[in-house]
Structure 1
Amino acid sequence: MRHKTLSECYSIFTVKVQHSTRICTHRKYSTSIQDAKPFKSIPGLSSLPYIGPLHHFLPIIGEFGPNANIFNVIGTLHKKFGSVVKMNGVFARANMVILFDPKLIDQVYRSQESNPLRPGFETMEYYREVINKDIFADGIYGLTTAQGPKWRDFRTKVNPALLKLKLVRVYTPPLDEIAQDLVSRLKQLKDNTTYLTENFMHEVNKWSLESVAYVGLGDRLGCLTDELTPEHPASKLMKCSKDIMETSFQLEFVPHPWKYISTPAFKRLMKTYDTQWQISAMYIDGAKKRFNARGHDIPEEDKSILEKLLAIDERVAVMMGNEMLMAGIDTVAFAT
């Protein structure tokens, strides 16, 4: 039986509890500090001294057990505690508040304004700042791991290439063609109900990567062809994205000692980040060679996002291309 994707079930947002709390002053959500409820009043999993909520994830006695998956944990928290849930910190992980109400999520975004502090992907941050620091030594960390002013600076650089309305007109025909290819492929597979039942999301991920790659790199990867094998770079990218999401949850959301001990799961995740970066770099280098081999300039509106960003800052262009090929797969597919 296929699990629902997280976005099919919930609209969620996590907030790390900082030592100092900012109160939203936007007109729509104006709140005085006197009216703010204390953190301890937020419902959530019970915690014990020193180990926090760890006992909920232990074998036999734990409500979730050591093999808990994100759907089970998030679903249970929402059902038991409502739209605002806390998770006390453990193993150097900060206290966390999980929001399920889109209006509350909007309130948090507005209170943080242009310098958001967003939890999650600490393992990726560790990979970029410690494991692979030679590549990321220039301080360009991308939208996924950058926080506060660093995030704002990166976002300011990429916004002109990403958010112009005219891009909708430019990309509509090729993206429609990719969507039609997916429809044709699903028609071919419709009689194989067993395959589609078990692999429908995989087919949607193929469409998602093909679409994101075209917008980002200006070229198709061949994800929707019958020739796509498990050894194809695009297949490996999709597997990396899936493994990153699942293993990051196990290491960062479920209590885990990866900050103290290099566990097998942590080592696998670092290797997965390596593979994802190498394949993305290969596709990005191929796109750069294709741009240079063209021999002439083209109208700005016809350029891919990567080509536009290369003219501004090559470091930003490479990082944005990498993040599109990683995060774009699941976020686009799950939102469909």
Structure 2
Amino acid sequence: MSGLLRQRGCPPALALRRARSTSAAAPAAPQQSAEWLRAAPFSQMPGPRPLPLVGNLWRFLPPLGEFSRLDLAETLLAMRGRYGDIVRVEHVPLKRPVVYAYNPEDIQKVFRQEGPWPVRGGVPSLCYYRSVTRRDWFQGNVGVIVSEGEEWLEARRKVNRPMMQPRSAKHYVAPIDRVAQEFVDRMLELRDEDGKMPPDFKNELNKWSLESISVVALDARLGCLEKALPADSEPQRMIDAAMVVFDSMMRLDMRLSPWRYVTTPAWRRLVTALDCIYEISMRHISRAVERIKARGDQRESSGEMSVLERLLVSNDDPRVAIVMALDMMFAGIDTTATALSTTLYFLAKNPEAQQKLYRELRAKLPDSGQPLTAETLEDCGFLRACVKEALRLRPVTVFNMRRVMVDDLVLSGFRVPRGVDVILSHFAITNSEQHFAEASRFVPERWVKDALGGFPARQAHPFAYLPFGFGPRMCVGKRFAEFEIHVLLARMIRRFHVEFEGEASWKTTMMHMIASPLTFKITERCPADSHGARA
């Protein structure tokens, strides 16, 4: 396709700078504070010292590089173990200077001082695809995922109310629950004679996730849960493409790659996969828009509009709604399925917690077939605690990133100058005994208030655990993702006792996930057993 060529001969590095020249502008630097004047210079911050000519590049290259065989999660832990709670890494070709922050106080300071339009960075390949390679498709509206600066702020304002209001998410509990019940029924068909899920059960969870998010983003069902879904079906092609996208972005944006200057195989795979997601999604989005137009203003007057309808009604430019729906489809496939499988694994390995959750669900859902409501989910405090605890141990994303856009940011007593990227290393913090007692154990009770309104264990710093980010760039789909996870997990544990043989292995690409086959063993519970003993 012509889009695979660099448009008009513009090198990616130059095009990216042009695309961001107006959107990533920072506010004027304030006067240097007394804290800044007292702080140690950036050059004295701990970190690996560069060698002449090669800098720190060799540390990330096999076979001798100390970080070359580690994934992102392992690198975060290794950096902290060797250099401490604040680490500086400079002189890596094609990379900005980076600070790794492991202190919640520093993380709080970064978020509190990030200015009116936080600069996240981290996905230049997707930014280039939308702003240059496929600019004829996106026409300058690249969405809240990749835009920066004032451009991002304007885009986020247009989608905040429909996406972030609690009532918007509650509107979808019933259809999300119907999808979950269908998936739980399908699990009985998928299990083998020993009650185990197939080795490709992760793909089945991705189908559930795509079907659930399509209800929200498109007001439609895609048919992902149909039996024997063909490999060339639209849902399966979208799932496969999403896997290619995450793998390609890892290779292009997180590792050393010359894609900004020459077309690489990983770049070509990324473009092909993104084109696939875009083309399939646009067909369904266009159908949804036509359905909404055909209905007229009936639902608007009743106040029962869907998210897509609210986005269309509240914005003069329909492309705002279209790009937001596209982002939801793109970002909502693998992330939600990963969070669900992680929580299910920890419940399978901790039968006491699973039993406690089952008792809660049985009390709230005496009849396993009755509909789940938003109010019921709000009453299931231990259900929410189980998800929080699983994502503390194994967060879907192991870090967040911000670019320093002011001159006087001081972290752990060191100056961090403007333009430096700060890696907020949540994974290392949430797994640290310094911040969480018995950090390696799955203890959902740490998130549950006791009868007196207090907590059973000392509370961690409020910025030690931020699975969906913080502040104006908090995940815009947070409420929908939580509802999807809570609903399916409730349906699973209410109906099945779940086991997992052995210990799972983990890997970190753009997400932190179980690498082992998800061969969960399920056993239907006895409906008449009020004490929750499995059949």
Counterpart for residue 326 of structure 1:
330
CA shift in 2, pair 1:163/1:69, >3 Å: same
State the one-letter code of the partner of 1:47: P
Counterpart for residue 143 of structure 2:
142
State the one-letter code of the partner of 2:322: V
In structure 2, C-alpha distance between the alignment counterparts of 1:230 and 1:103, rounded to whole Å = 48
Counterpart for residue 171 of structure 2:
170
Counterpart for residue 59 of structure 2:
56
Counterpart for residue 204 of structure 1:
205
Secondary structure of the 2:135 match is coil
Counterpart for residue 115 of structure 1:
117
Q: Do the aligned partners of 1:43 and 1:86 also contact (CA within 8 Å) in 2?
A: yes
Counterpart for residue 492 of structure 2:
none
Counterpart for residue 246 of structure 1:
247
Q: CA deviation at 1:82?
A: 5.2
In structure 1, C-alpha distance between the alignment counterparts of 2:273 and 2:70, rounded to whole Å = 21
Q: Do the aligned partners of 2:183 and 2:225 also contact (CA within 8 Å) in 1?
A: yes
Question: Alignment RMSD, CA only?
Answer: 3.3
Q: Do the aligned partners of 2:179 and 2:212 also contact (CA within 8 Å) in 1?
A: yes
Q: CA deviation at 1:331?
A: 3.2
Q: CA deviation at 1:225?
A: 2.3
Q: CA deviation at 1:213?
A: 1.3
The yes-or-no answer on 1:158 pairing with 2:162 is: no
Counterpart for residue 226 of structure 2:
225
Counterpart for residue 132 of structure 1:
134
Q: CA deviation at 1:270?
A: 2.0
Aligned positions of 1:7-46 closer than 5 A: 32-34=35-37, 36-46=39-49
Q: CA deviation at 1:41?
A: 4.4
Counterpart for residue 289 of structure 2:
288
In structure 2, C-alpha distance between the alignment counterparts of 1:203 and 1:223, rounded to whole Å = 9
Aligned residues between the structures = 312
Q: CA deviation at 1:142?
A: 0.7
CA shift in 2, pair 1:295/1:235, >3 Å: same
Q: CA deviation at 1:168?
A: 3.6
Structure 1 ranges of 4+ moved more than 6 A: 18-23, 192-195
Consecutive unaligned residues in structure 1, runs of 5 or more = 1-17, 24-29
Q: Name whichever of 125-134 and 178-187 sits farther off.
A: 178-187
Q: Do the aligned partners of 1:91 and 1:257 also contact (CA within 8 Å) in 2?
A: no
Q: CA deviation at 1:103?
A: 5.6
Q: Do the aligned partners of 1:70 and 1:249 also contact (CA within 8 Å) in 2?
A: no
Q: CA deviation at 1:38?
A: 4.0
Q: TM-score with structure 2 length normalisation?
A: 0.52
Q: Do the aligned partners of 2:312 and 2:321 also contact (CA within 8 Å) in 1?
A: yes
Q: CA deviation at 1:246?
A: 1.8
State the one-letter code of the partner of 1:123: S
Q: TM-score with structure 1 length normalisation?
A: 0.79
Secondary structure of the 1:331 match is helix
Q: Do the aligned partners of 2:27 and 2:115 also contact (CA within 8 Å) in 1?
A: no
Q: Name whichever of 238-247 and 89-98 sits farther off.
A: 89-98
Q: CA deviation at 1:193?
A: 7.4
Secondary structure of the 2:99 match is strand
Q: Percent same amino acid among aligned pairs?
A: 33
Q: CA deviation at 1:149?
A: 1.4
Q: CA deviation at 1:121?
A: 0.8
Q: Do the aligned partners of 1:91 and 1:259 also contact (CA within 8 Å) in 2?
A: no
In structure 2, C-alpha distance between the alignment counterparts of 1:78 and 1:222, rounded to whole Å = 46
In structure 1, C-alpha distance between the alignment counterparts of 2:130 and 2:181, rounded to whole Å = 38
In structure 2, C-alpha distance between the alignment counterparts of 1:179 and 1:210, rounded to whole Å = 10
In structure 1, C-alpha distance between the alignment counterparts of 2:294 and 2:54, rounded to whole Å = 58
The yes-or-no answer on 1:262 pairing with 2:266 is: no
Secondary structure of the 1:302 match is coil
Counterpart for residue 316 of structure 1:
320
Consecutive unaligned residues in structure 2, runs of 5 or more = 1-24, 341-535
Indicate the structure (1 or 2) with the bigger Cα radius of gyration. 2
State the one-letter code of the partner of 2:306: S
Counterpart for residue 47 of structure 1:
50
Secondary structure of the 1:324 match is helix
State the one-letter code of the partner of 2:126: M
Q: CA deviation at 1:177?
A: 1.6
Q: Do the aligned partners of 1:42 and 1:86 also contact (CA within 8 Å) in 2?
A: yes
- 2:306 corresponds to which of 285, 298, 304: 304
In structure 1, C-alpha distance between the alignment counterparts of 2:177 and 2:193, rounded to whole Å = 25
In structure 1, C-alpha distance between the alignment counterparts of 2:231 and 2:102, rounded to whole Å = 36
Q: Do the aligned partners of 1:53 and 1:90 also contact (CA within 8 Å) in 2?
A: yes
In structure 1, C-alpha distance between the alignment counterparts of 2:105 and 2:322, rounded to whole Å = 34
Q: CA deviation at 1:240?
A: 2.1
